Amino acid sequence: MTLILEGVSKTVGGETHIFPTDLELQRGTMNVLLGPTLSGKTSLMRLMAGLDVPATGRVIWNGDDVTGMRVQDRKVAMVYQQFINYPSMTVYDNIASPMKLMGQTRKEIDARVRETAELMQLTPMLDRRPLELSGGQQQRCALARALVKNAGLVLLDEPLANLDYKLREELRAEIPRIFEESGSIFVYATTEPEEALLLGGNTAALWEGRVTQFGPTPSVYRRPVNATTARVFSDPPMNFLPVRKEGSELRFGAGQSTPVPATASGLSDGEYTAGFRPNHLELAPHVAGTMRFDTRLSVTEITGSETFVHLDHGGARWVGLVHGVHSLQPGQDLSVYLDPAHVYLFGTDGALVSAAPYAEAA
């Protein structure tokens, strides 16, 4: 069971929403579409489902060209951010509704509903109505209705976005288990890099209608092929600054320099862009060779045990994520520190030319 997109694109009113895209998704895999709002996640899902016909290219399902096939004729299930249940029907009847439309027997329906309800931990609630359930239980009901169809392709479009933190964490832990037991191809859209890492599987990073990288989630995170992917797969986005390689040294615009790491030893001398994630900035040096950068603090955000610091570094906007709650004043000068082992190097075209040494070792 495979889903293949061959040069698939989408245009609306002459505006390109999805640029020609090639993807191959295998049976029994979790595939995350990661990108900011309007990056093309929902548009790509609609092409996969058959809700939209591509402007170019083909959609291949199990070796068959299904590009022009109606969504009703495909074994596809889709769950949206705004989960939908029928309020006047019980949980049992909500889950059973797709099978009734397919004309299956009462015995088949009952067996499948109870099997799926057990998988989704909804068995004690089958006689309740959706409004008698918690938000997480209502979303599980919507997921169960999608799974009961035995669809080969299950599309989840930011299904947890409207739930509170506790419920999101609960369902994030359950979805990989559900996916493993179903054997379907799962496609899960999210704006959150952390969610992609928790779900695992494969990740396609999207930016302005283009898939910038697709592969095993840890690999895409640790070794982004370009600065755009690195920006997408970092929350807050990766920080950047110019750097010049001169012989055995990397020279940063702030007067800092560091020995060229082994991963970059073969690079030609010249101009590059250094990138590093917010969580690698620190307020005090912890290892030998740490670089210091002088910045001005714009604003702080305290999130429980961590503090976001928004910084101005020579006109460039940086964000740091530091452990602990810190008493800092907007407008004050603030020195921050960076271990060179966490620095990526990108060429003038944005392509990765040297991964952070820590990523190579991971």
In order of start, what are the domains of the chain with their CATH numbers?
2-230 (3.40.50.300), 236-361 (2.40.50.140)
Residue 204 has pLDDT above 70, yes or no: yes
**Span 32-60, average pLDDT:** 96
pTM of structure = 0.88
Mean pLDDT of the chain: 90
Task: Kindly report whether the peptide bond that precedes residue 242 is cis, defined as omega within 30 degrees of 0.
Answer: no
pLDDT at residue number 161: 76
User: What's residue 135's pLDDT?
Assistant: 80
Name the one residue in this structure whose structure tokens are 């690195």: 230
Average pLDDT over residues 331-346: 95
- Separation in Å, CA 115 to CA 92, 108, 121, 125: 11, 11, 10, 14
Provide the pLDDT confidence category of residue 83 given band limits of 50, 70 and 90: confident
Determine the 3-state secondary structure of 280 from DSSP: helix
**Is the pLDDT reported for residue 362 higher than 70?**
no
* pLDDT of res. 80: 81
For residue range 220-254, list pLDDT tens digits in order: 999 999 999 999 999 899 999 999 999 999 999 77
DSSP secondary structure, 119-143, as one string = HTT-GGGTTS-GGGS-HHHHHHHHH
The winner for highest mean pLDDT among 54-68, 82-96, 136-150 is 54-68
